Amino acid sequence: MHAGLLILIWAASVVVIQALSGVWLLAAVIGSGLVASLLAPARSWRLARRVRFLLLAIVVFFAWSTPGEALVTDWPALSPTVEGVLLAAQHGGRLVAVVFCVAILLQRLSVDRLVSGLYALLRPLEFAGLPASRLAVRLLLVLRYVEAGAEHGWTHWLDEADDPSDETISVVRERFGMREIAVSALCIAIGVALLGIVK
């Protein structure tokens, strides 16, 4: 499947997740978690661990800062509110579902294909003056540096022997044909329909 189409499906999924709540959100979290555990178990666990403090901050902020009825009536001054706990669960669930979607996307696409897909999506905007090729190359450089830093540590960036100044940078161009355009339009239509259903 075209990298740009995968990125578009991912972006549409993230947008839809932000509009979900209640049972729909629970289904999205469980579904994305199951898919991520099958396709990208190690990456999903690693990304989930990285956002654990953000999740904790969301719980503390919403549970204890939202006005409402005390969850523990015997200690109302120290207790989180029922409304706050519900809001914390809602925002935390959205974050977890998005993290699972990111893990799936990164597992399916290499750095080169990820940049290639973004370039394919941004290329139609070149007529408006957006330098899609320059953005793609710069993003490719950043992602390669981040990937190298994750493998070797930040001190790897200080090694003069690994100076990439003479490295040849190329962006792979995948053809965005009529099939991809049709599937993209279908995904957008499904996303709009889902947003209308869950509101």
Q: Which two tokens stand for residue 172?
A: 């792979």
The average pLDDT across 60-84 equals 82
With cut-offs at 50, 70 and 90, classify the pLDDT of residue 145: low
Q: Give the per-residue pLDDT at 106.
A: 84
CA distance linking residue 67 with residue 187, whole number of Å: 39
**Pair 170, 111: CB distance under 8 Å:** no
Of 123 and 83, the structure prediction assigns the larger pLDDT to 83
Would you say 198 and 20 are in contact if contact means Cβ atoms under 8 Å apart? yes
Of 52 and 183, the one with more pLDDT: 52
Q: What is the per-residue pLDDT across 45-70, written as a single tens digit (0 to 9) for each? A: 888 888 889 999 998 899 888 888 88
Q: How confident is the model at residue 195 (pLDDT cuts 50, 70, 90)?
A: low
Give the range of the structural domain holding residue 27, as residue numbers without chain letter: 3-198
Question: How many domains are contained in the chain?
Answer: 1
